[in-house]
A = this chain, B = another copy of it.
Amino acid sequence: MNACGLIVEYNPFHNGHVYHIEAAKKTSGADCIVAVMSGNFLQRGEPAIIDKYSRTRAALQSGVDLVIELPYLYAVQNSDIFARGAVSILHEAGVSTICFGSESGEISNFKESYRAIQKNKATYDTELAARLDEGLSFPEANKYAYRAIGASSGIDLTKPNNILGFSYIKAIYEQMLPVDPLTIKRKNNQFHDTTLTGNIASATSIRKQLLSEKNSLSSIQQTIPEGTEEGLQHYQQTAGMWHEWELYFPLLHYRVLTMSEGELREIHGVDEGIEHRIKKFAKEATSMYEWIQLIKTKRYTWTRIQRLFTHILTNTKKRQVASLKQEKTPPYLRILGFTKKGQTFLKSKREDITAPFIFSLKKNAHPLLAADERAVRAYYSVLAPHRRKQLFQQEFSPPIQV
């Protein structure tokens, strides 16, 4: 059996994702789709609107055959670390191709950009460092460095999905993995577009709609498959809410106000004195939005601050992330769910896969899994106590089978 890998967040799973799955099947010629998916916290440092189990179920109902969790310590990171984790897992799971959506839509452009940077690495690195020193954010500095090597014919590295795609290419080539990268052009709406038109909308616009009104499911119905609709409904019934940053403000505010600056500096992502701003503005802020707005600088973008706030919330230390660098291959594959076909695929690959399969949280687990447990605990912390306990039990249930 021949599998194509996707790197996904499904926050929530919508029609654009269905399109991506179908296009990936067509482009790759694969008969099985393997998705590596972030858990309850996402790359841009946000809690997922509904938990990973609900998102897995919806994906399995609409064309994905196997869902593997991307561990928290890879999931809530800049695009390079995120990509390295995701690509390694897909490779370990035995996919032949990885297909990602991009603004460019041309894989040759990605390859060209990669080669251009490799050829002019010294210039690129010098320019990047200089721009970072000026106080620019990484994406901004990267744009200038890219221009400096005159790589005009490649991809536009200011587009969010091109940036991610480029990181996937880098991860594949640098680790010399026998996986073929493919890309498809993203359909319709832009990544951050917040308007809803037609039956394909960005996840951002769908979330915005869902979180803005009561009973707002009906207004986005045309943009999501039935499985997502059921998942959203069911999650709201069992958890009592859909997740968003503001719900975590009381916990995070309490946490920061009882931490010293020294303790803040131990947290992954808290660098260059940003702890002063975090503490200083904690005294003024009465919401997450206000707090991040106050902290924000040219260098510390909204996303970067959200990400470090996620690490504070989950108590993720620099030393835990540092230990990741030792890992050459994934220490395990956490299987969230599969279809019959996905299960058959896994069985067929069993002998080639050295990483053990894991279905639930364990005691004295690998640091990667321990971080996942903390993330799950933090994620459910905003629920009522009995719901918190009940939803956490899912972590010990068998994989979802569709």
A residues with a Cβ closer than 8 A to B are 249-251, 253-255, 257-260, 263, 283-287, 313-315, 370, 374, 377-378, 381-382, 385-386, 388-389, 392
Contacts and interface: CB of A to CB of B under 8 A. Distances in A.
Contact of A254 (B258, B260, B284, B377): B377
A381 B257 contact: yes
Given A258-B378, A286-B389, A385-B287, A250 B253 contact: no
B254 A381 contact: yes
A385 B254 contact: no
Identify the 10 closest CB pairs spanning chains A and B, nearest first.
A286-B385, A257-B377, A254-B381, A258-B315, A258-B374, A251-B254, A286-B386, A258-B378, A258-B377, A258-B314
Name the prevailing secondary structure of the A interface residues: helix
Q: How many copies of the polypeptide does the oligomer hold?
A: 2
Contacts of A249: 385
A250 B384 CA distance: 8
Name the residue in A250, A251, A388 with the highest tally of chain B Cβ atoms < 10 Å from its Cβ: A250
Name the residue in A251, A287, A313 with the highest tally of chain B Cβ atoms < 10 Å from its Cβ: A251
A28 to B, nearest CB: 40
Given A258-B377, A286-B385, 7 more contacts: A251-B251, A253-B381, A253-B388, A254-B377, A254-B378, A258-B313, A260-B370
Nearest to A374: B258
Nearest to A390: B286
A250 B286 contact: no
A315 B259 contact: yes
Nearest to A392: B283
Contact of A255 (B255, B283, B388): B255
Contacts of A315: 258-259, 263
11 contacts: A249-B385, A250-B251, A251-B254, A253-B381, A254-B377, A254-B381, A257-B374, A258-B315, A259-B315, A285-B385, A286-B388
